[in-house]
Structure 1
Amino acid sequence: MVLLYVLQRFKVEDWGRNKDFLPVQVGKKRRHKINIQDEELGEVELLHTNHDESVTHYGLQGRATNVVPVTSDALAKKCENILDGMVAKEFLGEANRTGEPDILKRVEIAEVRDTVKYYMPELLWHHRLMNPTSAIREALGVPELTTGSRVLYILVSPKFQPIAKLYNKELFDVWRQCILCHLTLWKEGVYHRNISPGNLMWYRKNGKLIGVLNDYDLSSLADDLGPLGEERTGTVPFMALDLLSAKAQRGEVKHLYRHDLESFICVFIWIC
């Protein structure tokens, strides 16, 4: 009973619910929007437009990536060449590690390479909401309250198509393009570490299919510490067997290039 009284003292935002997302009525459907003040663009309003096309993951931890179609007048003016619409990627990233926007900036260095230039997601806009999940631990006086603390990231990019929609030669070509992009990035010190069907995308450019190696929220750089949490890095069904061993769970197995390559093979087999 005492525990129940303690829990009732916290608001929903103390548990990670962000109150900046406001419900709005669009026709007969309920949507959500968020208004953020941007130093360069002024007020940026993001409106979730279609829940049917949203990619949402539910779980007890609530840390998985969610991707929703969005519209924004401010971003539409900035990015007039976006033909297939925009999506917002929302996820709780670790506060004390290199964020995905910073990793994508590092990737820009490698964009002079032909295997990377057109095969990376274009980051149209991003924002980091400064309300860490450690707030409730701070209120409770928990030691090491910032360890593993997470903050909400919003990343807006053009809309891509999943590789699972492709067949035959088109599937192989896009899959191969993603591997070549991944290899170049690895050599440049950008380690993706989360190869899965949802992270291999594509779009059309001048009638040609272009593969996109997407989703860098679990990636790391050669010169940083990488994820600081105690959880395995990757999508479990497609992870290399070495990374699922007991030694790996204790942090005794280094994530190598061949582990990601094994994940690429698992993805290809799963799609076929």
Structure 2
Amino acid sequence: MPGLNSPVHSPNYGESEFKKPLKLSSASDDLLWDLKNNLYDGVPPEQFIQHIFGIKPEYVDAIMAKKWRLDSKLLIEYHVACHHNDRDRMAPPYEDLLHALGERVCRYFSEDYDPDKLWMHLKHSFMLAFPSRTIAKPEIPASLGDVSGSEYHSAIAEDEQSPSIPAVGPELEAPHPSNEDRMRSTRHSRKSLPLPITIHDLDVARTAVESMAVSGRHYTIRASVHRTSITLWYYDRACIVRALSFDFEKQPNIFALFAYGMSSVNTRNDDYNPEPCVGPSFVFPVNPYYGSSLVGTRIMFLPIVRGDPVPMFFVDRFIYVYSGLIGRGTMVYEVREDFMAEDGSQNEALKVSWPLAARPREDALISQILQAIPEWQDHLPEVTFSATYTPTDLGVPRVELLRCIGINEIPTERNMHVLGMSKYEKLWEVGNIGGFKKIFVDCVECHYHSYATGRVLHGDLSENNLMFKQDEDGVKGIVNDWDMASPVDDMDEVLATNIPTGTTPFMACELLCDDAPPHLYRHDLESFFYILVWACVNYSLRKKKRLSTAKVIELWNLPERARMAKVAFLIDPYCRDEVFNYIGEEFTSIKEAWLMPLWRLFRDAFVSAPEGTTLEGYDMRTCGGRVTFEKFMGALGKEPRHLSR
């Protein structure tokens, strides 16, 4: 298990009610990484506006060719407010300038002017900025290609000195990008040199995180205003586009185009349309407060086959909300298909995510496993609905937007994947130690047979995907969330990707280094061990609660520290006992019966590798035969059932 360098992986998010906000520096580092590695500069503002708002080219030409004048009285009022750096005084004249200009442009085309639409755009995408210093320059963008439908959301930028992160919700947490989400690519071209990244750019990105945390938003835009300079931003799950700034006083024709896009009834407005539309995916509020919450809304998707009924789900509550920017953007909701059904009846889980298009579909992998091991169907998720939508299906403007700067191909495309399934309970909700132990063993065995016979390696085990259901036979453990799983060939080689996957506190030590080896079955067994330790320290089964993460294992959740902390835990009995001393009273029987035998198993495996570079005669797949399914079950004192191999 060589190497001690730590790359960045996904932390353990837990369930939303147990999350605590990350400190500013951590969230800022992630956003800065996104800006440096996923930012495309140089889109002319008029082309940005045209594609975002869906304005006809002939209208763009007409607006750009005409001379427009701004209201001089409002302009003076705005300049006075700018002189005093008074943001509250800056907003009204700026908005009035946009209103007046938008109405004139609509009149020019004999179109209806919609002040409510303009007000909504101002409320949800307008920011006033103060000067801020440069903190970085963007690098070549990394992963590109995620999409999904449009919406704008609110933000008024605070002064750059503000230490707070805009709230995404009452209990959301900005995640570290996973290794997959940070996959780099350089297969693209640029028309312009990278522009600086400022602290204010981070502020703008934070509000984009807030906006994207509301599902139904496949992308979001921001208009950042500093005095008379306007910078337009576009964000989706795979890329960020920054338009060239323009001066609305010196370039009123671009300002007029912007005002028209935000106020005309004939420009794109899918995000605020209060009526059901034929869009690929959108949210229609059942309650009167748009965007206040998705609870009580219905989510609709394109039919899988043309002419089929529109898939529709009514949201009862959030289960999990991804609160980062670039990445898979996974959202999970408790939903009903029948709006008239009683709350809590016929409920299921709906997961919406944006995995890399190159990855196998989760529903296809689950189907492959079920065909191979039908006797284990009670321990695998029951899929009730599945659909995948490409960027083209979703009509996202990002593709055309990038073509403006000569980028015709997205190197790492993402598709939106929707998965409906039966709703299961979390591991800590079982209520007693006997049920907990049965669920854990069920999951270990199901995971093994999925690998050995189903030829699929899960690869991302965490406390959140070891779940259970209860029927007349009692509790049954279920291995959930196969979206990061990979097919396995006849030589036991993982086929999908060489990029390490996993959730930081539960990842094998070997995978937490920059030169990580291919993901092996034994790495998932090591994850099972860490999940077990984590549960014994952090769960209250009697209260059916996941407690705050114990201080003694907090480092396990830090990408840059997790490897060293877990190495110390595995090889140093003193560090082991420090952790085991935090084991809850309910789990004391597990300490000697399960934890100590498993600790010795992985300690012996960790120190067993020959020194130096030669490994001749040593089986790295099993650490010399020390880490196998049979050895793991033996450490639990359990006889394997239904061995498939």
Pick the aligned partner of 1:150 from 386, 392, 414.
414
Larger radius of gyration: 2
* TM-score, length basis structure 1: 0.81
Specify whether residues 260 and 84 from structure 1 end up closer, same or farther in structure 2 by C-alpha distance, changes over 3 A only: farther
Kindly state the Cα deviation for residue 139 of structure 1 after the two structures are TM-superposed.
5.6
Specify whether residues 163 and 18 from structure 1 end up closer, same or farther in structure 2 by C-alpha distance, changes over 3 A only: same
* 1:26 equivalenced with 2:67 (yes/no): no
Map of 1:240 onto structure 2:
508
Pick the aligned partner of 1:90 from 352, 377, 382.
352
Tell me which amino acid in the other structure corresponds to 2:371: I
Query: For residues 26 and 45 of structure 1, what CA distance do their matches in structure 2 show?
Result: 20
Asked if 2 retains the 8 angstrom alpha-carbon contact of 1:239 and 1:259, the reply is yes
Pick the aligned partner of 1:267 from 511, 528, 531.
531
Specify whether residues 4 and 209 from structure 1 end up closer, same or farther in structure 2 by C-alpha distance, changes over 3 A only: farther
Map of 1:193 onto structure 2:
459
Specify whether residues 15 and 244 from structure 1 end up closer, same or farther in structure 2 by C-alpha distance, changes over 3 A only: closer
Asked if 2 retains the 8 angstrom alpha-carbon contact of 1:218 and 1:227, the reply is no
* 1:11 equivalenced with 2:52 (yes/no): yes
Kindly state the Cα deviation for residue 149 of structure 1 after the two structures are TM-superposed.
0.9
Query: For residues 92 and 42 of structure 1, what CA distance do their matches in structure 2 show?
Result: 24
Give 3-state SS (helix, strand or coil) of 2:323's partner: coil
Kindly state the Cα deviation for residue 61 of structure 1 after the two structures are TM-superposed.
1.2
Pick the aligned partner of 1:168 from 405, 430, 433.
433
Kindly state the Cα deviation for residue 151 of structure 1 after the two structures are TM-superposed.
0.4
Query: What are the superposed Cα offsets for residues 6-27 of structure 1, whole Å, 9 maximum, x if unpaired?
Result: 7656539997342422231237
Specify whether residues 139 and 168 from structure 1 end up closer, same or farther in structure 2 by C-alpha distance, changes over 3 A only: farther
Query: For residues 468 and 329 of structure 2, what CA distance do their matches in structure 1 show?
Result: 22
Query: For residues 70 and 148 of structure 1, what CA distance do their matches in structure 2 show?
Result: 31
Map of 1:215 onto structure 2:
481
Query: What are the superposed Cα offsets for residues 23-70 of structure 1, whole Å, 9 maximum, x if unpaired?
Result: 31237765242143233992133234223x421121121414211112
Kindly state the Cα deviation for residue 215 of structure 1 after the two structures are TM-superposed.
0.7
Kindly state the Cα deviation for residue 147 of structure 1 after the two structures are TM-superposed.
3.0
Give 3-state SS (helix, strand or coil) of 1:197's partner: coil
Query: For residues 529 and 307 of structure 2, what CA distance do their matches in structure 1 show?
Result: 42
Asked if 2 retains the 8 angstrom alpha-carbon contact of 1:160 and 1:202, the reply is yes
Kindly state the Cα deviation for residue 138 of structure 1 after the two structures are TM-superposed.
5.4
Specify whether residues 147 and 26 from structure 1 end up closer, same or farther in structure 2 by C-alpha distance, changes over 3 A only: same
Q: Which runs of 5+ in 1 are unaligned?
A: 77-81
Range moving further from structure 2, 34-43 or 155-164: 34-43
Query: For residues 260 and 64 of structure 1, what CA distance do their matches in structure 2 show?
Result: 24
Specify whether residues 138 and 203 from structure 1 end up closer, same or farther in structure 2 by C-alpha distance, changes over 3 A only: farther
Tell me which amino acid in the other structure corresponds to 1:268: L
**Which has the larger strand fraction?**
1
Specify whether residues 139 and 235 from structure 1 end up closer, same or farther in structure 2 by C-alpha distance, changes over 3 A only: farther
Give 3-state SS (helix, strand or coil) of 2:459's partner: coil
Tell me which amino acid in the other structure corresponds to 2:385: W
Query: For residues 207 and 222 of structure 1, what CA distance do their matches in structure 2 show?
Result: 33
Give 3-state SS (helix, strand or coil) of 1:186's partner: helix
Asked if 1 retains the 8 angstrom alpha-carbon contact of 2:427 and 2:467, the reply is yes
Kindly state the Cα deviation for residue 137 of structure 1 after the two structures are TM-superposed.
4.9
Query: For residues 255 and 95 of structure 1, what CA distance do their matches in structure 2 show?
Result: 20
Kindly state the Cα deviation for residue 124 of structure 1 after the two structures are TM-superposed.
0.7
Specify whether residues 15 and 159 from structure 1 end up closer, same or farther in structure 2 by C-alpha distance, changes over 3 A only: closer
Specify whether residues 203 and 138 from structure 1 end up closer, same or farther in structure 2 by C-alpha distance, changes over 3 A only: farther
Q: Which runs of 5+ in 2 are unaligned?
A: 1-40, 55-144, 151-280, 537-645
Matches within 5 A, 1:177-192: 177-188=442-453, 189-192=455-458
Map of 1:225 onto structure 2:
495
Aligned alpha-carbon RMSD (Å): 3.2
Asked if 2 retains the 8 angstrom alpha-carbon contact of 1:48 and 1:68, the reply is no
Range moving further from structure 2, 94-103 or 238-247: 94-103
* 1:202 equivalenced with 2:468 (yes/no): yes
Residues paired across the two proteins, number: 256
Give 3-state SS (helix, strand or coil) of 1:96's partner: coil
Identity %: 23
Kindly state the Cα deviation for residue 225 of structure 1 after the two structures are TM-superposed.
3.2
Tell me which amino acid in the other structure corresponds to 1:11: I
Asked if 2 retains the 8 angstrom alpha-carbon contact of 1:84 and 1:159, the reply is no
Map of 1:102 onto structure 2:
364
Kindly state the Cα deviation for residue 97 of structure 1 after the two structures are TM-superposed.
2.7
Kindly state the Cα deviation for residue 172 of structure 1 after the two structures are TM-superposed.
1.3
Map of 1:79 onto structure 2:
none
Query: For residues 53 and 314 of structure 2, what CA distance do their matches in structure 1 show?
Result: 21
Query: For residues 242 and 158 of structure 1, what CA distance do their matches in structure 2 show?
Result: 34
Query: What are the superposed Cα offsets for residues 130-181 of structure 1, whole Å, 9 maximum, x if unpaired?
Result: 21688355564337x3432110000000111111223412111101100000
* TM-score, length basis structure 2: 0.36
Asked if 2 retains the 8 angstrom alpha-carbon contact of 1:35 and 1:43, the reply is no
Specify whether residues 12 and 152 from structure 1 end up closer, same or farther in structure 2 by C-alpha distance, changes over 3 A only: farther
Query: For residues 407 and 495 of structure 2, what CA distance do their matches in structure 1 show?
Result: 24
Asked if 1 retains the 8 angstrom alpha-carbon contact of 2:43 and 2:405, the reply is no
